[in-house]
């Protein structure tokens, strides 16, 4: 009887799982078929995967695009974890009315859509192009700097810091640690699950970033993989088998990161401290 009562729950969860997995399954199957098979809705694996990959590498600079995307994602993730965790730690551990006002203003900035910031950001980087070429338009730094941390990430670290045991800080101060020493030697190792969750969120967001790189990266050798996939789909007669092969390749790094760190991600999202 207990199993029968739970049957509707299992049926519902099975349907949700199928609906969630179907797009990924269809993407992988489509990558093995010809474009005409994809448009006809063929749901059986084909034998043209390597042919599609070859056509993909012949039509776009796949390896440089993946390398550019990886560099941007890694640098953005490292900077985001450092800056956001320092800010979240400072807002929570060192409380004051002034800091609370600044934090509230920071939260209000989440209401501003990024589309409203693109024009002034582009103007700023275009002015820097002549004076500071390293961070001007058409550089990877121009992609990283405006997006390497967000108000949400700072809020995420501050909320997670609420569960941080303050006794560890007092013990560290008694042992003579500086404030930076407390952060790097006590706080960072203790909050590793929070760092894991934030790293997954930031890496996936940076890897799939499309709009801002589209505006600021202007030469083919600097383009990222989402931009090249978009170019494949905008041709007069798109090859959907090749497009699906490109999507599969671009999805693998983020999927690998998530599956390798899914336990830490779940633990970090629920706010556990180990």
DSSP codes of every residue in 184-234: IIIIHHHTHHHHHHHHHHHHHHHHT--HHHHHH--SGGG--HHHHHHHHHT
What pLDDT shows up at residue 267?
67
Q: How far is C-alpha 185 from the geometric centre of its chain's CA atoms?
A: 26
Q: Write out pLDDT tens, residues 111-145.
A: 888 888 888 888 888 888 777 777 888 888 889 98
The answer to whether residues 145 and 136 touch, using CB atoms and an 8 Å cutoff, is: no
Buried b (16+ CB within 10 A) or exposed e, 86-97: bbbbbbbbeeee
The answer to whether residues 186 and 172 touch, using CB atoms and an 8 Å cutoff, is: yes
Q: Look at 33 and 234; give whichever has higher pLDDT.
A: 33
How far is residue 211's CA from residue 116's CA, in Å, rounded to a whole number?
Answer: 12
Residue 161, number of CB atoms within 10 A of its CB: 21
Q: Look at 2 and 145; give whichever has higher pLDDT.
A: 145
- Alpha helices by DSSP H, the chain: 2-31, 35-39, 49-59, 62-93, 97-108, 118-131, 140-144, 151-161, 166-174, 179-182, 188-190, 192-207, 211-216, 225-233, 240-260, 262-269
Whether 274 has a pLDDT exceeding 70, the answer reads no
Give 92's DSSP letter.
Answer: H
How far is residue 210's CA from residue 198's CA, in Å, rounded to a whole number?
Answer: 20
How far is residue 198's CA from residue 269's CA, in Å, rounded to a whole number?
Answer: 9
Q: Write out pLDDT tens, residues 25-59.
A: 989 999 999 888 888 888 888 888 889 888 888 88
How far is residue 223's CA from residue 232's CA, in Å, rounded to a whole number?
Answer: 13
What pLDDT shows up at residue 3?
67
The answer to whether residues 103 and 90 touch, using CB atoms and an 8 Å cutoff, is: no
What pLDDT shows up at residue 68?
92
Q: pTM for this one?
A: 0.85
Q: Write out pLDDT tens, residues 62-85.
A: 889 999 999 999 999 999 999 999
Give 135's DSSP letter.
Answer: G
């Amino acid at each position: 009887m207990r199993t029968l009562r739970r049957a509707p729950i299992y049926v519902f969860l099975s349907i949700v799982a199928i609906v969630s997995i179907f797009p990924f399954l269809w993407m992988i199957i489509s990558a093995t078929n010809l474009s005409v098979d994809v448009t006809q809705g063929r749901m059986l694996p084909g034998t043209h995967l390597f042919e599609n990959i070859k056509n993909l590498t012949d039509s776009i600079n796949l390896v440089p695009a993946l390398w550019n995307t990886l560099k941007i994602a890694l640098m953005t993730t490292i900077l985001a974890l450092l800056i956001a965790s320092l800010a979240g730690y400072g807002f929570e551990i060192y409380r004051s009315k002034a800091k609370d006002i600044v934090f509230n203003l920071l939260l209000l900035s989440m209401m501003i859509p990024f589309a409203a910031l693109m024009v002034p950001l582009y103007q700023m980087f275009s002015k820097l192009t002549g004076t500071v070429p390293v961070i001007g338009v058409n550089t990877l730094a121009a992609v990283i700097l405006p997006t390497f941390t967000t108000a949400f990430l700072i809020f995420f670290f501050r909320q997670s810091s609420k569960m941080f045991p303050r006794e560890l800080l007092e013990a560290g101060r008694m042992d003579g640690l500086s404030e930076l020493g407390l952060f790097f030697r006590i706080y960072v190792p203790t909050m590793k699950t929070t760092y894991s969750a934030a790293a997954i969120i930031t890496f996936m967001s940076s890897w799939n970033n499309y709009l801002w790189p589209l505006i600021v990266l202007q030469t083919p050798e600097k383009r990222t993989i989402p931009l090249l996939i978009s170019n494949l789909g905008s041709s007069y007669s798109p090859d959907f088998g090749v497009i699906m092969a490109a999507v599969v390749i671009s999805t693998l790094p983020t999927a690998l990161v998530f599956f390798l760190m899914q336990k830490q991600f779940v633990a970090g999202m629920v706010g556990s401290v180990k």
